[in-house]
């Protein structure tokens, strides 16, 4: 799964990295992005467009927006079939920019958090889905989910699931609004190679969503 991630960059890097038309100057910096936070996502809108959405997808047909607490992740194996995600997979795909993510490894001493990132990419993108929910008063709630898949060899000792990190060359095809066949995009939902990643243990301070800051990604020593 993916329940926490990091996003920290500047508008110029975002603009260049994702070929964006406009990036607001006040991008948030979050070392501990948690569900229900509003964070930037990228959608294709000739050219690519940055939007801010709440993490935790609420399907357009949902009666209650609290559904989003349960739908922060969509499983790659069932995303084309689940009612909450199958329409979004065809029409509402997005990129979720990140610098890395956190996962917890079960140990005899308790759950140990790890920070996982790409070796050669400071900023990358998770495969995401988004929806627009309309409340009875007519207001909109824009929400997103991150797609997960089986872990690669690096992640497997930490957790059996990991977010889908799209290779840079696949991002445009994933976003392509003209492609609305689920079968055509499912092939992108694979674990990135283990050789492209690195992981190390970090402080349990990340366990609390109230904590933030660069200290959360500092390596720590743990007992074997």
User: Known catalytic residues?
Assistant: 2, 103
Contact between 167 and 65 (Cβ < 8 Å)? no
Contact between 54 and 68 (Cβ < 8 Å)? yes
Residue 159: alpha-carbon gap to chain centroid: 16
Cα–Cα distances in Å, from 216 out to 179, 200, 213, 221, 223? Answer: 39, 12, 6, 14, 19
């Amino acid at each position: 799964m993916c329940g926490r991630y990091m996003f920290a960059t500047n508008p110029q890097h975002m603009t260049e990295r994702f070929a964006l038309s406009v990036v607001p100057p006040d991008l948030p910096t979050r070392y501990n992005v948690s569900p229900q936070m509003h964070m930037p996502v990228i959608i294709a809108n000739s050219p690519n467009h940055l939007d801010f959405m709440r993490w935790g997808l609420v399907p357009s047909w949902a009666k209650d927006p609290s559904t989003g607490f349960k739908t922060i992740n969509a499983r790659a194996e069932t995303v084309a079939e689940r009612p909450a995600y199958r329409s979004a997979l065809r029409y509402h795909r997005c990129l979720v920019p990140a610098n890395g993510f956190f996962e917890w490894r079960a140990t005899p001493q308790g759950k140990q958090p790890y920070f996982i990132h790409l070796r050669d990419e400071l900023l990358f993108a998770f495969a995401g889905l988004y929806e627009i929910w309309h409340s009875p008063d007519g207001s909109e709630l824009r929400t997103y989910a991150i797609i997960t898949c089986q872990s690669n060899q690096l992640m497997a000792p930490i957790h059996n699931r990991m977010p889908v990190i799209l290779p840079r060359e696949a991002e445009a095809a994933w976003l392509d609004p003209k492609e609305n066949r689920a079968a055509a995009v499912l092939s992108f939902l694979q674990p990135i190679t283990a050789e492209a990643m690195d992981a190390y243990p970090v402080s349990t301070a990340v366990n609390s969503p109230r904590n933030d800051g660069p200290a959360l990604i500092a390596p720590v020593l743990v007992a074997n």
